[in-house]
Amino acid sequence: MRSLSSKVLWTLILTSCFSSFSWALGEKEAASVFAQAVNAYHGADYREAVDLNERLLLKDFVSPAVYYNLGNSYLKSGRLGKSLVNYLRASRLTPRDSDLRANLVFARSQVENYNSWPRNSVFALVQKFWSAEELQWIAFGAFVVAGTFLLVALYAGLRRKRVMIGMGILGVVALYLLGAVIFQVVDRSGQAVCVERVEARFEPSAQATAYFKIPEGTEIKVLREKERWFKVERSDGKVGWVPIKSVERI
Amino acid sequence: MKKFLINAIFIFMICATALALDISVKATVADNRVAMGSSLQYTITVRGVQDLQPPVLPAFDGFDVRYVGPATRVSVINNSYSVEQAFNYVLVPTKEGKFNVPSVPVTVNGLTLTTEEVPVEVVPAGSPSGASEAASDPQQDIQSRLKLLVTVPRDKAYVGEGVPLTLRLYVNQLSLQDLSFPEIAEQGFQMDPFSDPKQFQDTIQGVDWQVVEFSTVVYPSKAGEMLISPATLRGALLFKNTNQGDQSGGIFDQGFFSNFFSNYQKRQVTITSRAIKLDVLPLPEEGKPADFSGAVGQYDLTVDAAPLKVKSGDPITLRMALTGAGNLKAVKMPVFQESGFKLYDPQIKDDPQGGRKTLEQVIIPTDVKITAIAPVRFSYFDTTTGTYRTIERGPFALEVTAPASGEEFQAVGFAQPSLVSAPETLGRDIVFIKDSPGRFEKRSGRDRQDVVFFILLAVYIQLWAGFLAFYIYRQRLLNDPRFARQVSAARQACRMLQIAGDRLRAGHMKPFYDILESALRDYFVQRLELPPGRTDVATVVQRLKVLRVEEKYITIMEDISAAAEQVRFAGMVMPDDKMRTHLADAQDLVRGVERRVK
């Protein structure tokens, strides 16, 4: 039994070492592909730049710069919808990047009849400043601080009034941040962009009556999926069915 | 010649009489198709007179004709009196084919008017045709009774030229409600909003149609062949609920009295027109004025400025009004720019319905040398002549005098020194790409990030709750002596029972029972909070009964107590297995009471 446990342990350690080693090797290769994509963009070969950046994503290598450059390359090759998808993906990772914000605003200005989604939730505020990962760490930190404060205060015998005030403030902050994390997880699950001009229909069928049009680059919400159709909602609240191939989730 | 003149005057007088009386005649059928074996109603309606003799239908090929009777309708709307008389006939087909019900002469006040010929097709028996067959294929029949036609007056237009577009919805023997405004996908053109619909009746090939007409104007935005995509119109079709009552009628059996109290249902329908092609011509480059800003149509411009005698620094209001036919919403008003003036932003108002766009701008002369307001020019492409035209209004003579000392006008909203310059045009494009990839991550790792966060948070909250519970437990031990005693009772009893076990293994019978009895006594004193002097077996048993402890534990208590007394006072020797049983029973007793007494 003991020897079996040590075998499992060794297998895990070796697998982990091998995985790290292969990831490090792959990272070098990915950096090289990225540089090739940059060169292609410099030479105005935007299609090549798109292909190279997409290859990185296929190999599971992700970074804000890859999404950003891919967005630029798509925009230069006239694919507005694809460009917006990648800008929005980059925005999730680095929401404070001013270059990215500028390009996102520009790309949205090219969308026909662009209407932004109303952001009424108080939890949406923090999304402008922090990425999902940052927000999760900050929320976790707030919980640790609030919990530790309460325990230390109790063990140290602080006055109850002070403990209540301190705990109240920290608790509200921690709960707000947790709410923001949950909102972000729920909100982003349906976010998508139309990558081609499409007509939303009343039913998930090519023969169904067209209900309304969705220009390329329109940001929509995916409500449900049925066979090869998405049920989507436009920012003005209209709901219709569009083919899956015309929509890309963020 | 004289005879001809008399005849002409006579004919003219008869026509004039008919026109003056507003007399008209028309022939209608319910449908242009009828199946063999069924019949078709044919009606001659004479407007403007009553008490007429029924017109005699000549015999014609394909039908037997039977006169059914007349019907007279008199109506007074807005003090306007009107009357019409309808003569109904039944046409029974005698053979299949295409026929024409011939023109029928109707003599009214000595004037003979004729109806138009009505084409009717007789189809084999059982084929879907007419209202009577509607129930056999309602969907197909609805389509044949609803038509949406889009028309434009011409098939060529210039870029930016307004092309009137008319949409007519024809409805035959259907009740259509909740009509929406038409929708047309705007691709390659701009479109004005649709006007309010007009409703009227039209007779086509002897069949009456209710018509709803919408109109708008489209403006092509690029040259080449333009396709005005199909228009769609939505509405609710009212039809009788066939699940109730007599089901023989179907959708189109809508006799007034039979259906008045029936249950009706609505069915949403979408009617789609055909697409229309338009050949869009580019605007010619030849003769294009430098200030042409894309206005296409026919326009007129009026400009005035007031006052024209001012002191330097006094405001002058420059007013322009552009009128005419064209896309006024998109037309750019002329821009007044001249040195020697301070300019406020113009106020532009659109009134496309009224065919007018106005501009009001405050200009302030800053120099006494200015003698005129420069002319205002507006260039447009005239679609009627196919050439560019330029309208020029002005110049306006201006008399500017120097203000008295201290009366200088201080313009609001201009930084000093204010120089009027053309607005700076900034380019728009995306920011350049990034040269460094930054830190690569695994996309799959990112997907797991949410799960990791919630697991970490759950673990932390559990740990934290554990610490809090431990704190509360410790506080209670410190502050609640009764609780502390109860908690320590079981622990102490267990310790003493261990010692008793040691004595048992050493073969010391009497000390074993002494410790066993002492352990149980101390345990019950603390656990049941008995007074120190009331630790006899009877008191303990009584309390255990009050607490509804199981009977077997009471028996155990009594057994152990009796055995201890026998060993201690009667010198009785207990066998080892009995002692082991007593030790196990004592442990069981403590555990049982702990479970029962909280």
Residue whose C-alpha is closest to residue B460's, from A151, A50, A144, A159: A144
Q: Give yes or no for residue A238 having a pLDDT over 50.
A: yes
CA distance A33 to A41: 12
Contact at CB, A61 and B440, closer than 8 angstroms: yes
CA distance B216 to B195: 6
Give chain A positions within 8 Å (CB) of B467. Answer: 151
Domains of chain A by residue range: 2-109, 122-188, 191-249
Stated as kind and residue range, the H or E segment containing B37 is none
The pLDDT tens digits for B266-305 are 778 888 888 888 888 888 888 888 888 888 888 888 998 8
Contact at CB, B468 and A61, closer than 8 angstroms: no
Q: Does A66 touch chain B (CB under 8 A)?
A: yes
Residues in Cβ contact with A22 at an 8 Å cutoff, skipping those fewer than 6 apart: none
Reply yes or no on domain A191-249 having CATH 2.30.30.40: yes
Length of chain A: 250
Q: Residue for token digits 């790409």?
A: B433
Pairing of strands B316-326, B356-365: antiparallel
CA distances from B188 to B59, B118, B166, B210, B217 (A): 56, 42, 18, 32, 14
- Average pLDDT rounded to a whole number, residues B343-368: 81
CA distance A103 to chain B (A): 5
Stated as kind and residue range, the H or E segment containing B174 is none
pLDDT greater at residue A6 or residue A178: A178
Q: Give yes or no for residue A220 having a pLDDT over 90.
A: yes
Q: Give yes or no for residue B483 having a pLDDT over 60.
A: yes
Q: Give yes or no for residue A196 having a pLDDT over 90.
A: yes
Residues in Cβ contact with A135 at an 8 Å cutoff, skipping those fewer than 6 apart: A126, A127, A177, A180, A181, A184
Q: Residue for token digits 């909070």?
A: B529
Burial B323-360 (b: 16+ CB within 10 A, else e): bbebbbebbebbebeeebbbbbebeeeeebeeeebbbe
Q: Give yes or no for residue B140 having a pLDDT over 90.
A: no
| B501 touches B583 (CB < 8 A) | yes
The pLDDT tens digits for B194-233 are 888 888 888 888 888 888 888 888 888 888 888 888 888 8
Q: Give yes or no for residue B8 having a pLDDT over 50.
A: yes
Give chain A positions within 8 Å (CB) of B233. Answer: none
| A23, A69, A102: residue with CB nearest B433 | A69
| B435, B436, B453: residue with CB nearest A181 | B453
DSSP letter for B206, please: T
Contact at CB, B433 and A143, closer than 8 angstroms: no
| A231 touches A224 (CB < 8 A) | yes
- Check residue B65 and give its pLDDT: 85
Q: Kindly identify which residue of chain A lies nearest to residue B452, measuring between CA atoms.
A: A136
- Check residue A221 and give its pLDDT: 93
Residue whose C-alpha is closest to residue B319's, from B349, B297, B341, B284: B349
- Check residue A16 and give its pLDDT: 65
| B254 touches B290 (CB < 8 A) | no
- Average pLDDT rounded to a whole number, residues A204-231: 92
Q: Give yes or no for residue B498 having a pLDDT over 50.
A: yes
Q: What share of chain A is helix, strand, coil (3-state, %, to 5)?
A: 65, 15, 20
| B147 touches B169 (CB < 8 A) | yes
CA distance B587 to chain A (A): 36
In sequence order, what are the beta bridge partners of B376?
B393
Give chain B positions within 8 Å (CB) of A106. Answer: 428-430
Give chain A positions within 8 Å (CB) of B449. Answer: 132-133, 136
Q: Taking chain B, what is the end-to-end CA distance rounded to the nearest angstrom?
A: 135
> What counts of helices (H) and strands (E) characterise chain B?
9, 32
Q: Does A33 touch chain B (CB under 8 A)?
A: no
In this structure, how many other beta carbons lie within 10 angstroms of the beta carbon of residue B425? 6
- Check residue A241 and give its pLDDT: 95
Residue whose C-alpha is closest to residue B57's, from B20, B92, B101: B101
In sequence order, what are the beta bridge partners of B278?
B226
What is the average pLDDT value for chain B, to the nearest integer?
80
Contact at CB, A133 and B444, closer than 8 angstroms: no
Contact at CB, B430 and A31, closer than 8 angstroms: no
Give chain B positions within 8 Å (CB) of A75. Answer: 430
3-state secondary structure of A89: helix
Q: What share of chain B is helix, strand, coil (3-state, %, to 5)?
A: 30, 35, 35
CA distance B129 to chain A (A): 27
Contact at CB, B440 and A181, closer than 8 angstroms: no
Q: Give yes or no for residue B407 having a pLDDT over 80.
A: no
Q: Kindly identify which residue of chain B lies nearest to residue A212, measuring between CA atoms.
A: B185
Q: Which of residues 397-456 of B touch A (CB under 8 A)?
A: 428-444, 446, 449-450, 453, 456
pLDDT greater at residue B353 or residue A145: A145
Q: Residue for token digits 């090797």?
A: A25
CA distance A194 to A205: 18
DSSP letter for B87, please: E
Q: Which amino acid is at A52?
A: L
In this structure, how many other beta carbons lie within 10 angstroms of the beta carbon of residue A19? 10
DSSP letter for B252, please: T
Q: Give yes or no for residue A179 having a pLDDT over 60.
A: yes
CA distance B364 to B372: 12
Give chain A positions within 8 Å (CB) of B453. Answer: 136, 139-140, 181
Q: Taking chain A, what is the end-to-end CA distance rounded to the nearest angstrom?
A: 48
Q: Does B139 touch chain A (CB under 8 A)?
A: no
A to B CB pairs, distance under 8 Å: 92
Residues in Cβ contact with B43 at an 8 Å cutoff, skipping those fewer than 6 apart: B27, B28, B29, B86, B87, B88, B89
CATH architecture of the domain formed by A2-109 = Alpha Horseshoe (1.25)
The pLDDT tens digits for B181-198 are 888 887 778 888 888 888
CA distance B312 to A47: 62
- Average pLDDT rounded to a whole number, residues A86-105: 92
Contact at CB, B437 and A34, closer than 8 angstroms: yes
- Check residue A204 and give its pLDDT: 93
| B430, B457, B467: residue with CB nearest A72 | B430
Q: Give yes or no for residue B588 having a pLDDT over 50.
A: yes
Contact at CB, B443 and A62, closer than 8 angstroms: yes
Contact at CB, A41 and B433, closer than 8 angstroms: yes
Within its chain, how far is the Cα of A161 from the centroid?
42
Q: Give yes or no for residue B139 having a pLDDT over 50.
A: yes
Q: Which of residues 153-192 of B touch A (CB under 8 A)?
A: 185
- Check residue B31 and give its pLDDT: 82
CA distances from B316 to B369, B372, B393, B414 (A): 16, 12, 17, 16
| B430, B432, B440: residue with CB nearest A63 | B440
CA distance B304 to B321: 9
CA distance A77 to chain B (A): 13
Give the helix ranges, DSSP H, for A43-159: 46-58, 64-76, 80-93, 98-109, 132-156
Q: Kindly identify which residue of chain B lies nearest to residue A24, measuring between CA atoms.
A: B440
Contact at CB, A99 and B436, closer than 8 angstroms: no
Report CA torsion sign: A27, A32, A35, A40: negative
| B429, B438, B468: residue with CB nearest A63 | B438
Radius of gyration of chain A (CA): 24
Share of chain B above pLDDT 70, in %: 84
Q: Kindly identify which residue of chain B lies nearest to residue A214, measuring between CA atoms.
A: B185
| A23, A38, A144: residue with CB nearest B435 | A38
CA distance B466 to B188: 68
Q: What's the pTM?
A: 0.43
- Check residue B293 and give its pLDDT: 82
DSSP letter for B133, please: G
CA distance B412 to B134: 75
Stated as kind and residue range, the H or E segment containing A81 is helix A80-93
- Check residue A232 and give its pLDDT: 94
Residue whose C-alpha is closest to residue B559's, from B521, B586, B580, B536: B586
| B363 touches B341 (CB < 8 A) | yes
In sequence order, what are the beta bridge partners of B298?
B325
Residue whose C-alpha is closest to residue B331's, from B160, B165, B188: B160
Within its chain, how far is the Cα of B508 from the centroid?
93
Residues in Cβ contact with B360 at an 8 Å cutoff, skipping those fewer than 6 apart: B317, B318, B319, B346, B347, B349
Q: What dihedral angle (degrees, nearest 10) is formed by the CA atoms of B558, B561, B562, B563?
A: 120
Q: Which of residues 149-208 of A touch B (CB under 8 A)?
A: 150-151, 154-155, 178, 181, 185, 199
CA distance B596 to B598: 6
In this structure, how many other beta carbons lie within 10 angstroms of the beta carbon of residue B596? 13
Contact at CB, B433 and A209, closer than 8 angstroms: no
In sequence order, what are the beta bridge partners of A24?
none
3-state secondary structure of B117: coil
Q: Residue B15: which pLDDT band, with cuts at 50, 70 and 90?
A: very low
| B438, B442, B456: residue with CB nearest A65 | B438
CA distance A227 to chain B (A): 24
Q: Residue A194: which pLDDT band, with cuts at 50, 70 and 90?
A: very high
| B65 touches B14 (CB < 8 A) | no
| B431, B440, B460: residue with CB nearest A62 | B440
Give the helix ranges, DSSP H, for B39-183: 138-145
Report CA torsion sign: A189, A193, A196, A197: positive
CA distance B339 to B419: 9
CA distance A99 to chain B (A): 6
Interface test with A, best of B183, B431, B432 (most A CBs within 10 A): B431
Q: Which amino acid is at A4?
A: L
